[in-house]
Amino acid sequence: MSLFKSVKVINSGKAILLSPKCGAPLRYHSTWLRDNALDVKTRDKKNGQRLITVSDIPVKTYIKSASLDKKGKEITINFLPKKKQVKFSTNWLKDNAYDNKQAGSKVWINPDLKIWSKNSLKRIPIINYKTAKSNKKLLINWLKSLNSFGFAKITGCEKKTGTVIKIAKLFGYVRETNYGKFFDVRSKINAVNLAYTNLGLQAHTDNPYRNPVPTIQILHCIKNSTKGGATKVIDGFKAALRLKKENKKYFDLLSKYRSQFEFKEKNNVHLKSRFPMISLSTDGELIGIYFNNRSIGPITDVPYSLMLDYYKAYRKFSNIIDDPKMAIKFKLKPGQCFIVDNSRVLHARTAYYGSGNRWLQGCYADKDGLLSSILSQKNN
Ligand code: NM2
Ligand code: OGA
Ligand code: ZN
């Protein structure tokens, strides 16, 4: 059954109006339609890439006629002045509609994402490592949850060094950094990073001093028999939305001005970058959180007249992040692993002490690989 009932040329051929059986009609411009034609002269048959440039489309492109087939599944469009006939599937047009987008500066979140706090996250997305390896469908469903919650767990992993790399390969590619392809998170003498001590770590995103920041972090537990050493995860987008609700002025300060982040290791490494703690795209989408008390450097991008307010905003955001109502808390057992979207979800560790041993291994990867694994399945 088709979802569409009619198509009409409007605005002297500058656009069409596609009417679904229920819901608002959708408009598409002539130039947009011509650019997105899916015929073999516009798109390569083998790889689907576009063969034309925007300059190949006449400025005065207009639609002479448009018709919908009986089943309501396909429309045929005739363009002029350069004569061309193109067919579009109505489902394709619906999937790529833009007539429902708001102009303006409202803050918004990708509709694929689910925002959570301690009480609203009913079930942590979790999969067994062997299942992830052997059952593609369950793996993809779990990856979709990882993407929408920004957080997921794996159980039943080998308790061996290097396993974290195999986990990254379930959905993407390892991002090698100055910390190596993967790194041991355990208490060391002369630790180059506070993560390599037994201290508690306030909830943070990793590596904000690097640009681009790794967008996925994986932490795999090999040993965890000391007292303490629990993990907390917090949805940074939820924290940002709470700040916006509780104090819009503070939200605006943290999203407008950039903080500075810095990490030095003797004479070998000096990483430095600047990001707003709450990052919005220019059209208002909430796209990133950069928060790490240990590596925040001197903030120099905030005008003198606003610095005190900026610190108030930073303090308030930090308090929201520390609020126990925000965090999911668990203690990783050997063979368990958790993954975070490092551009959104913050992770924390409680201090650990006493006898026993704690040994995690971590690595970075990126969300492009994750999203590609999900999207490429959708198209099959
Ligand atoms: N380690 C675990 O971003 C950070 O500095 C957190 C990162 C050292 C790779 C720790
Ligand atoms: C890290 C980190 C948490 C932990 O290595 O980036 O935050 O539980 N570690 O040790
Ligand atoms: Zn960390």
Distance from C-alpha of 277 to C-alpha of 257, rounded to nearest angstrom: 8
Residue 359's beta-bridge partner residues? 223
Distance from C-alpha of 274 to C-alpha of 75, rounded to nearest angstrom: 48
| 227 phi/psi in degrees, rounded to 5 | -80, 150
What is the model's pLDDT at position 3? 83
d(CA 192, ligand 1 centre) in Å: 10
Alpha helix segments (H runs only) across the chain: 30-35, 90-95, 129-134, 136-149, 163-168, 236-246, 248-256, 304-322, 367-378
What is the model's pLDDT at position 203? 98
| CA of 179, nearest ligand number | 1
Ligand 1 atom 1, closest CA: 195
Atom of ligand 2 lying closest to residue 347 CA: 7
Which segments of the chain belong to CATH 3.60.130.10? 126-379
Atom of ligand 2 lying closest to residue 183 CA: 5
Is CATH 3.40.50.300 correct for 4-95?
Answer: no
Is CATH 3.90.1410.10 correct for 126-379?
Answer: no
**pTM of this structure:** 0.96
The type of residue at 369 is G
User: Could you tell me if 20 and 6 are in contact, meaning their C-beta atoms sit under 8 angstroms apart?
Assistant: no
Full pLDDT tens readout for the chain, 380 residues? 668 999 999 999 999 999 999 899 999 999 999 999 999 999 999 999 999 999 999 999 999 999 999 999 999 999 999 999 999 999 999 999 999 887 777 999 999 999 999 999 989 999 999 999 999 999 999 999 999 999 999 999 999 999 999 999 999 999 999 999 999 999 999 999 999 999 999 999 999 999 999 999 999 999 999 999 999 999 999 999 999 999 999 999 999 999 999 999 988 999 999 999 999 999 999 999 999 999 999 999 999 999 999 999 999 999 999 999 999 999 999 999 999 999 999 999 999 999 999 999 999 999 999 999 999 997 65
What is the model's pLDDT at position 166? 98
3-state SS class at 201: strand
d(CA 248, ligand 1 centre) in Å: 31
Which segments of the chain belong to CATH 3.30.2020.30? 4-95
Distance from C-alpha of 14 to C-alpha of 12, rounded to nearest angstrom: 6
| 73 phi/psi in degrees, rounded to 5 | -105, -15
